[in-house]
Chains A and B, each alone.
Chain A
């Protein structure tokens, strides 16, 4: 087995931790699996690539495709890649580092979701005068 993905839900975001090597043989399967594991209610995905020791252009394509798919659902993608990771070399050689949102750790990536989380929490709290909208005596439907 070349790679594995482990999922976790933290602070309303999906944390997908990929281990091993990502190349043409498994990139699109990994992308699909992450899409499947992300509920519509999640704020977004933290793609943790810290334990990845090889990532080629198929893997970079995965990142872009996942970002597009999530954007269409109003969700965000954040990457976790430590500075000394070989994945940084791939991104640098492909010239894409500056186009991607990269955090050095999963905690820092999750912190980026804080404003979105506050917004989502506010939307969930019902307005105080909500029950006055229903006219007295009429059964709520």
Chain B
């Protein structure tokens, strides 16, 4: 029998190497780097040929080789060892350190240890707060009697490193999930909010302290001057909730585009949620706003009631919510109708914003109302609510909010507009609202809008400048006569052929007085019409 191999390093040197294991820098490392660092230091301190860490997978009841030095094959081949059997399996099952002086005669399951020609082994369990997290073992290619002092050194290493492993393992798993979930959530929310002249929109999404959830919002541009606004909450956290949220949001968006009113839209989304295998719990509110008349149709399914704030009122809407989405077969969703005056805002939000432990939900909503009732814009509402209700350390639940502001239409309407054909529909909405507020009748509104639309279309079509081009609209009313001026930076194109020039003909027919003037920078058209009601 060979004499036991004496360590070459003095105990003081061993400890110096090991003390590095408590480096604060180590806690910054990811799991891979941490394991690598630990193995390196243990190998140096004990002067052994092999070091391996096997992590315990409680679900599989197995040890999985996770990192190794000198026997890297263990990891490469994904060695898995059952609990209770073999050298490492016994250490894990019995939670005791085991030393084997002569491997050949021992119960070794792992063929790699034999093939490597390992002579002696020493191993111990890694335990954190009573839970087994794995096994750390060292081996020698020359016969060696591991003694009490070797065990003590390995114990120091294990004690220092086990919590780090556990933390890093939890951290990297959590961090990965968090990253994926945040990315998913971001990609599922609208990239940018649609821009409407005459209406202001602002929104926020704030993940919970521990990650994302299933909150969402959406703004949907609909035909006939309608704007759909939606908000919802799929119960749950993480990737699953975010993915379900995406499905619910897209379903609502698609049904909304079909032109269904809010109640029917939520009913259809409910039917869709009923068919989802995951049986998610979800709430939503959906409203369709008519930018011309100010009318708002609203339906909610298990969702917190929206609030309305404006110059003359600040209130929680008294809407009886239908059941949450997917709660009952063939649930019906009643609709509520109200009118939003110029300057008013509707605020939709999710319960994460108003739910506080130990406070009634109704109180939370009142707090929100008080927080935002003086805000002057959609963006200010979001800022006040987030600033006032979200503590610096974040919230337990994620939060979404969406605000639609009915911008006041001034008596004198002056617009600076992008020379883009898509602007035309917005201009028509604003002109219609402006005419309505001047008490114009339906014929006045239709014909003046048509004339203004033609004048603006011409400005858009003839904006020659490369890059972004603009045009201006100025509308005034005096003693029942409206005067509208459209000024562009291009030249009024002469009518070409039979099919052109109809725009000008329409303007002439719709308005009582039309002047077309070339200016130094473009063309200016001034048109007047006496309103019939005056």
Contact = CB atoms under 8 A, between A and B. Distances in A.
Contacts of B503: 56-57
A20 B224 CA distance: 6
A60 interface: yes
B223 A1 contact: yes
A87 to B, nearest CB: 11
Say whether chain B's binding surface is mostly helix, strand, loop, or mixed: helix
Interface string A54-78: 1011101100110000000000000
A96 B446 contact: no
A83 to B, nearest CB: 15
Given A25-B421, A25-B422, A93-B505, A56 B223 contact: no
B221 A23 contact: no
Given A56-B454, A57-B506, A93 B499 contact: no
B424 A23 contact: yes
Interface in A36-69: 53-54, 56-58, 60-61, 64-65
Given A89-B446, A93-B509, A94-B505, A23 B222 contact: no
B424 A86 contact: no
A97 B502 CA distance: 12
B502 A21 contact: no
A90 interface: yes
B457 A58 contact: yes
Contacts of B224: 20-21, 53
B499 A61 contact: yes
A4 B446 CA distance: 21
Given A23-B424, A24-B461, A89-B446, A65 B499 contact: yes
Interface string B436-456: 000000000011011001100
A5 interface: no
A63 to B, nearest CB: 9
A23 B421 CA distance: 8
Interface in B493-525: 498-500, 502-503, 505-506, 509-510
B297 to A, nearest CB: 18
Nearest to A60: B502
- Looking at A57, A86, A90, the one whose CB has the most chain B CB atoms below 10 A away is A57
Most buried by B among A58, A93, A95, A96: A93
19 contacts: A1-B221, A4-B223, A21-B224, A21-B428, A23-B425, A24-B424, A54-B449, A54-B450, A56-B450, A56-B454, A57-B505, A61-B502, A64-B499, A90-B506, A93-B447, A93-B505, A94-B502, A94-B505, A94-B506
Interface of B: 221-224, 257, 421-422, 424-425, 428, 446-447, 449-450, 453-454, 457, 460-461, 498-500, 502-503, 505-506, 509-510
Given A23-B421, A57-B457, 16 more contacts: A19-B223, A21-B224, A24-B424, A53-B224, A54-B428, A54-B453, A56-B424, A56-B450, A57-B505, A61-B502, A65-B499, A92-B509, A93-B506, A93-B510, A94-B502, A95-B509
